[in-house]
Every structure is written in structure tokens, then in C-alpha cells.
Amino acid sequence: DGSTRHKKCLDTQTNEEYLCKTTNGSHEKMLSAYFRLTAQDGENDPLIRPVKKILKSGNETFLLISPKNFGDLHSYVRERRRLPEDEARSLFRQICQTVELCHENGIVLRDLKLRRFIFTTSDRTKLQFESIEEAAVLDDPEDDTLHEKIGCPTYIAPELLKINSRYAGKAADIWSLGVILYSMLVGRYPFHDKNASHLFAKILNGSFYLPGWLSNKARCFIRSLLRKKPEERMHSSDLLYHPWFQEEQTNDFFKMLDQENQENDDQCVPEYSPNER
């Protein structure tokens, strides 16, 4: 059924620990995608968590991945409540580079969210996308039309909520990027409700609050990602050219003094729940 299971394992010959991801069914396209990404990704600071070994047994494929990391971005934003624009800019640049790399290689990530990005350094400045098992590998890189709907409700694009609808996968990824950037800078999701029906109604409506203390370029960037019409959202190849990324370092100290104005505590980025999808 294509499901993925995770377990820690030990190479008894080398005593190396790995995270073993076991997937069912045929995954030739996914393995091919991993090889393509590995060939283009940087060797020293890869954007996608590298697969160390690939083993097969019957109808199962085992991906061995280094388990070492320094936490995920969801937990970090939760801990910090929100990030200064300079820090968020550095991290979000890496996220955009990851999405651009995947889109260029015909891969739609689909389940894009803060928790999927892990830190690879103790100073929490380098990110990797944890894996692409949930991604869609396109037969035709120019045709990203999808019908299977995968993703976490708070990150899902409005077009995925329409019944029996096909959607442009790359544009849906861009919407999820908007949710990620908003959450990093504001400290809560742009669309949030404990009731799923109310949450989806808010997403379909497309209205969200932008705090006045955000810079104009940050506000502009978020709006260009969270557009209701998929065709109006930015293309992944244009993201790094947005003026917000060209911004010189600014002093965010006074902006961070606004922490006490974080209204609606239930709107803050919540602790991760195992049921989050």
C-alpha cells in the first residue's frame, strides 16, 4: 500500500546506527528520484537527508538513513515562540532551495510542514528535509496534476479541499511554504481551529491576519505564497529572488518585545501530536 514504517537499527559489522524506513510495494520511481537528487544536491550540506544504504527483500524496500539530528523546526519555533526575520530568512532560504531542487526534478513534496525539516548542526543553522517517501514523483516533470491528497490539515491548500478535484501539486507546495513562513515569523498558523470543518472553512475563505510589526517585504512575501488561486502563487524558481531575501540584516530586538501581544495562545504553533497529518 506504499506505507512507510520507521525503526532504529544497528549494522553489526560496523556498529553504526541507522534509522530504517521500510516501504511496501514498488518504489522504483522513488529510488530513482533519490538518486537524481543525490547527484545534484551538495555533498557537504545536502538539502535532503541522504540515504546511506538501500536494501530490498521481497516486496519491501529498506532505506537506511543516519539518525543523528538536532531536533526539528516545529519544536524550535514552538520553543522560541517566533523567529526574528534575519534568522527566519536564513532558514527559509534553505527550505526554498529544497523545494526548488525537488520541483526541478519532477518531485512534489506534498506533506510540507515545519516538522519535516530537521537541524543537522548543534547551533541550529543548517536544515535538511527528512525524507521524500511521501512525495509524488511525476511521470512528466511539466505536468504536476495530482489527485491523491496528502498533507497536514493546517498546511493544506484550499484547492485540495474541493471534492473530486485534481490540483497542481507544485502550487500546493508553495501554499504550504506560505504557512511555514507565516508560522516562523508570527508564531502561530495563519489558519487554525480545533474543529476541522471550521479550519477548512477558514482555509477556503483565504483571509488571514498579518501583524503590523512584520516588515513590508515579509508581508508581501507571505501574501504572494498564500494566494487562493494556485496560478497566482509564486513559482519555486522565483522564490529566492523575492526582495525579502535581499534584505540587509536588521535589528529585530524591538520587534521581539512584542511577544506579550501574542493573543490567543491556542493559536500558537502547538506541540506535535502523533495524530498530526
CATH superfamily of this structure's domain 71-245: Transferase(Phosphotransferase) domain 1 (1.10.510.10)
Q: Which position has the grid cell 529498506?
A: 62
Other beta carbons within 10 angstroms of residue 32's beta carbon come to 12
Cα–Cα distance between 17 and 35 in angstroms, integer? 22
Q: What is the pLDDT of residue 254?
A: 45
Q: Is 111 a catalytic residue?
A: yes
Q: Which CATH class is domain 8-65?
A: alpha beta
User: Residue-wise pLDDT tens for the chain (277 aa)?
Assistant: 445 677 888 888 888 888 888 877 556 777 777 777 877 766 666 888 877 777 878 778 888 887 777 999 999 999 999 999 999 999 999 999 999 999 999 999 999 999 999 999 999 999 999 888 788 989 888 899 999 998 899 999 999 999 878 999 999 999 999 999 999 999 999 999 999 999 999 999 999 999 999 999 999 999 999 999 999 999 999 999 999 998 754 444 444 555 444 444 444 555 544 445 4
Q: What is the pLDDT of residue 99?
A: 96
3-state helix, strand, coil in the chain (%, to 5): 40, 15, 40
Name 165's Cβ contacts closer than 8 Å, sequence gap at least 6: 159
One-letter amino acid identity for 150? I
User: DSSP per residue over 128-158, as a string?
Assistant: EE---TTSEE-SSTT--EE----S-GGG--G
Cα–Cα distance between 59 and 42 in angstroms, integer? 31
Considering the candidates 1, 41, 72, 111, report the single residue annotated as catalytic. Answer: 111
The DSSP output letter for 271 is P
Q: Where are the domains of the chain?
A: 8-65, 71-245
One-letter amino acid identity for 129? F
pTM attached to this predicted model: 0.83
Cα–Cα distance between 22 and 42 in angstroms, integer? 25
Q: What is the pLDDT of residue 134?
A: 81
